Structure 1
């Protein structure tokens, strides 16, 4: 494995471990421990820590070293607010520019999501990562025809930031009855090119999801939506 590949592999492994809660929020990140964990030399670990610090998943405290970023309701609500604003607008633009290939991408993502969801019945905690990955795939398919590449990059970054909260909330969430399938309603409205209905459904869906994260991780706080 060349240096670039090792750096990328180490960074991706560390990112995944932070996102899925294997490395707990606010925990100390020792270079020697991470090197052993990922069977890597110290240099790729340092590179990974620097990259993830730039992404906000790792915090550097002067000469004291690195920590996994803590989770707070204030941070989640700020990320959630920005994501709603940018994603709903991108969805509106995507509907206006959508074509048959766009519809096929959404339908394919929806099919994958349903397949994973059925397979994960009774295994919510164990398969949280898969569920969130397919959820992301569906949301990205909805906005794929937005012409602004910068807007799509910002949304992707915000989704990354919120992913850790969502994984932690799924791990801590008690399984209950299946909810109304909001994704199906969003997809149908998009295919009808009912812009206003589709965007309102997406907004309500994201805000509902955000509220569940807050209720699960921060039960003493009320989400503003």
Structure 2
């Protein structure tokens, strides 16, 4: 099934707002998974026909994605998936280190035993699923992606700042697109032990060693950046294709 080969459906009580939300979530998922490629045009009329929704519903869904930073809009060129570049990768990575590092430090300082238990639980759940599909190691195992997001969010949940968490969530989503584009470079090339990287973060958190935890988190994000840079030809290929 292609990325857009389905119709949104719901019960008789579903109104325009619920259809818009469903469309927003579907397009968001396709962008993060790079089923909709960076730079790809998003035609309002085509999406409305594909999903059997109104033009207004499509415009609202796309406007939400603009606010999320996943779609760009211009008067002359309409809507398109936000592009990727190595310069943007460097900016996203450093800003994520700054923001998420601060949130992690505050969580370690303020988090109670329940927070620490949630981190351990999220870490256990993440380790329980494979990193890649066994039959296709070039693709992330979808449940791992879900649990990975929960794990990293659990690390910072005790920071006490909804604003900080909101900025952190936006940066995480932007990083996810690069991860999906770079995973092919991890196969047959330079080895990476993601589990060991996560283990180092958790070990420091359990000790409530904020400096060590932030260093491990920064190293983890930096390694991801290195693998994306190794896959620079893949990013260039995607840009040319769109």
TM value normalised by structure 1: 0.88
Q: 1:193 matched to which residue of 2?
A: 208
1:181 aligns with 2:175: no
State how far apart, in whole Å, the 2-side matches of 1:220 and 1:11 are: 25
Change (3 A) 1:50 1:119: closer
Q: Is contact 1:124–1:175 with CA below 8 Å preserved after alignment?
A: no
Q: Is contact 2:185–2:227 with CA below 8 Å preserved after alignment?
A: no
SS in 1 for 2:84: coil
Alignment counterpart, residue 56 of structure 1, candidates 63, 69, 72: 69
Q: 1:28 matched to which residue of 2?
A: 41
> Where does structure 1 lack aligned partners over 5 or more consecutive residues?
none
SS in 2 for 1:15: helix
State how far apart, in whole Å, the 2-side matches of 1:219 and 1:114 are: 28
State how far apart, in whole Å, the 2-side matches of 1:149 and 1:114 are: 28
Q: 2:18 matched to which residue of 1?
A: 5
The number of residues matched between the two structures is 221
Q: Is contact 2:39–2:81 with CA below 8 Å preserved after alignment?
A: yes
Q: 1:102 matched to which residue of 2?
A: 115
Change (3 A) 1:220 1:170: closer
What does the per-residue CA deviation read over 1:108-131, in whole Å, with 9 as the maximum and x for residues that have no partner?
211221122267445344445433
State how far apart, in whole Å, the 1-side matches of 2:184 and 2:210 are: 34
Alignment counterpart, residue 229 of structure 2, candidates 206, 214, 217: 214
Instruction: Report the CA distance between 1:47 and its aligned residue.
Output: 0.8
State how far apart, in whole Å, the 1-side matches of 2:131 and 2:228 are: 22
Q: 1:147 matched to which residue of 2?
A: 160
Alignment counterpart, residue 165 of structure 1, candidates 169, 178, 181: 178
Q: Is contact 2:181–2:234 with CA below 8 Å preserved after alignment?
A: no
Change (3 A) 1:197 1:127: closer
Change (3 A) 1:172 1:38: farther
55-64 or 72-81, larger mean C-alpha shift: 55-64
State how far apart, in whole Å, the 1-side matches of 2:132 and 2:178 are: 23
> Where does structure 2 lack aligned partners over 5 or more consecutive residues?
1-13, 237-242
